Amino acid sequence: MSVLVTGASGLLGGAVARELASRGHEVRSFQRRPAELPGVEDAPGSVTDTDAVRRAVAGMDAVVHLAAKVSLAGDPAEFSAVNVEGTRRLIAEAARAGVRRFVHISSPSVAHAGMSIAGDDARPADPAHARGDYARTKAIAERLALAADSPGFAVVAVRPHLVWGPGDTQLVARIVQRAAAGRLPLIGSGAALIDTTYLDNAATAIAAALDRAEDVHGQAYVVTNGEPRPVAEMLAGICRAAGVRSPSRHVRAGLARSAGAAVEAVWRVRPGADEPPMTRFLAEQLSTSHWFDQRRTRADLQWTPAVSLDEGLRRLAAAYRTAR
C-alpha cells in the first residue's frame, strides 16, 4: 500500500513512517522540512498550501495525518490555519485523488473539559468545552475528518495519549529541563492517575488502525499503554531515567490554575521563546486523573502494546546514558 504520512519530521510521525516502511508499505512523508527517514520518500510542503497537498496525495492509497500546530499557547489564527483548514484541505484533496483510507491523529484533549477522566472510552470531540486553542482546533479537525467518512473513503480517528520515548524533545525534554532547574512542582497531591503511551506502542497502534480502517471506519479510539500511574510516580520515573532529581515541591491545584490564567494573559501580549511555564490546561492535566478504558481499542484494532512502561523507562535511561 502507498501511504502518505504528514508530520513525519516529528517524534511520533517519524516513528509511524518507519513502522509502516518496515511493514513493506511504500511511504511518502509530507512536512515543512525534510524528514530524511530511511526508505521513505520526502515530499516537503505544508498542509496550508493546496498545490503542495495535491502533489503529496497524488498516487496514494492511504493517508496518516499527524501534521499539526502543537503548543500550549500561540496565535489562535495559526492553530486554525494548520489544524482545521489544513485538515479540511488534506481531506478534500485526498478524496479527490482516490485515497481510500484516512487515519486522522487526534488527541484525548478534544474531549477533555477540565474534570477527571477515570476509565472512560473515547468521548465525542467537543470544541465548545475543549481547553485551549490546540484542543479546540483539534476537536474541530476530528469532527471534520469523521464527517468525511464514506464508502470508499474510510476514516478512523486515533487519539494517542501523552506519547513519550527516547529522542522526545517535547514532553520528556521539558520535564527533565524543568526538574533539573528546580522548576517542576507537583500540582496538588501528585496522586492523580494518568495514562501515557510509549512511542513504539503509539506507532504500532496507528499502523493497526490503518490496517483495520475499512472495518472500523467512522470511529475514534484513545490509545494508551493501559497502565495508569500517579502523576508523581510517572514524573519521578522520567527524571530518574534522565539522572535528575525528581520533583518534591507541591503547589495547590487552584493556585496553579490561577497562575496559569495569569501566564496566558501575559503570553498573549508578550509571548516567550519557549512554552509558557504554566497554563490552565497544564494545571488541570497535572492535577486531575485521565486514564482510559482500552478494551474497545484493543479489540477493534486487534492491537496490544508490546512495550510496558517499565521497559520504556529502561530504554529511556539507556538513551540518556548513551547521550552522556
pTM: 0.93
Q: Where are the alpha helices (DSSP H) in 199-252?
A: 199-211, 213-216, 231-242
CATH of 2-161+197-226+291-306, one of 3.40.50.720, 3.30.565.10, 2.60.40.60, 3.40.630.10: 3.40.50.720
- Residue positions annotated with a catalytic role: 134
For residue 78, which of 271, 220, 260 has the smallest C-alpha distance?
271
How sure is the predictor about 35, in pLDDT bands with cuts at 50, 70 and 90?
Answer: confident
Give the contacts of 139 (CB within 8 A, at least 6 positions apart). 109, 110, 111, 125, 126, 127, 130
How sure is the predictor about 184, in pLDDT bands with cuts at 50, 70 and 90?
Answer: confident
Model pLDDT, residue 52: 95
Model pLDDT, residue 256: 67
How sure is the predictor about 138, in pLDDT bands with cuts at 50, 70 and 90?
Answer: very high
Model pLDDT, residue 302: 98
**In a 3-state reduction of DSSP, which class is residue 291?**
strand
Report the distance separating Cα 174 and Cα 180, nearest Å: 10
Model pLDDT, residue 257: 73
Model pLDDT, residue 271: 67
Task: Bin 106: left if φ > 0, else alpha if -120 < ψ < 50, else beta.
Answer: beta
Averaged pLDDT for residues 145-167: 96
For residue 63, which of 88, 28, 35, 39 has the smallest C-alpha distance?
28
CA angle centred on 317, ends 314 and 323, rounded to 5°: 145
Whether residue 297 contacts residue 223, with contact meaning beta carbons closer than 8 Å, is answered with yes
**In a 3-state reduction of DSSP, which class is residue 107?**
coil
Model pLDDT, residue 185: 84
| 11, three cell numbers | 517524534
Q: What is the pLDDT of residues 216-253, one digit of tens each?
A: 999 999 999 999 999 999 999 999 999 999 888 887 87
pLDDT of 265 strictly over 70: no
Q: What is the pLDDT of residues 281-323, one digit of tens each?
A: 776 767 678 889 999 999 999 999 999 999 999 999 999 988 8
Report the distance separating Cα 115 and Cα 150, nearest Å: 34
Sign of CA pseudo-dihedral 51, 2, 170, 286: positive
Q: What's the start-to-end Cα distance of the chain, in Å?
A: 40
Q: Where are the alpha helices (DSSP H) in 23-128?
A: 50-57, 76-79, 86-96
How sure is the predictor about 98, in pLDDT bands with cuts at 50, 70 and 90?
Answer: very high
pLDDT of 115 strictly over 70: yes
Mean of all residue pLDDT scores within the chain = 90
Give the contacts of 189 (CB within 8 A, at least 6 positions apart). 232, 250
Averaged pLDDT for residues 96-125: 90
Report the distance separating Cα 130 and Cα 139, nearest Å: 7
| 249, three cell numbers | 515541591
Maximum alpha-carbon separation in the chain: 55
